[in-house]
Amino acid sequence: ILNPGPTTRLEAGDVTLLRGPEAGVADVVPELSGEPYEPEPEAEPGIDDLERAVGSIVLMKNLSELAVDLAYGSVLFDNEELAEEVSNLEVEVDALQSRFEAWTLRAA
């Protein structure tokens, strides 16, 4: 389900992917799961630079793979909503790449 609206109904077994500010996610998770929201533990300030770099690269890879899969689906099913989501993912990956490059230059 892309861009659900007020009439969208979820069924048992549906999987949701949430993105947004922590406060917004904290409001939605109990509604979806019926369980209280437990945020991920904060990363230690002394996180290893290599771990941060690997995490950024893995996230970019995963988003890129998702974009390719959605692009194929968009063409196969002639679906403009999927094409729009691919465009949004491209913007997000470009932003991640820019931040990664800036971080790399600062670390050097």
What the block records as the tokens of 74 is 């968009």
Buried b (16+ CB within 10 A) or exposed e, 29-41: beeeeeeeeeeee
Q: How far is residue 82's CA from residue 88's CA, in Å, rounded to a whole number?
A: 10
Which of these, 60, 67, 73, lies nearest to 86 by C-alpha position? 67
Task: Tell me which residue has tokens 């949430």.
Answer: 18
N-term to C-term CA, the chain: 42
The structural domains of the chain, with segments of one domain joined by +, span 1-41, 49-107
pTM, full prediction: 0.56
Q: What is the pLDDT along the chain (108 residues), one digit of tens a residue?
A: 677 778 888 888 887 777 778 888 888 888 888 888 888 777 665 567 778 888 889 999 999 999 999 999 999 999 999 999 999 999 999 999 998 888 888 776
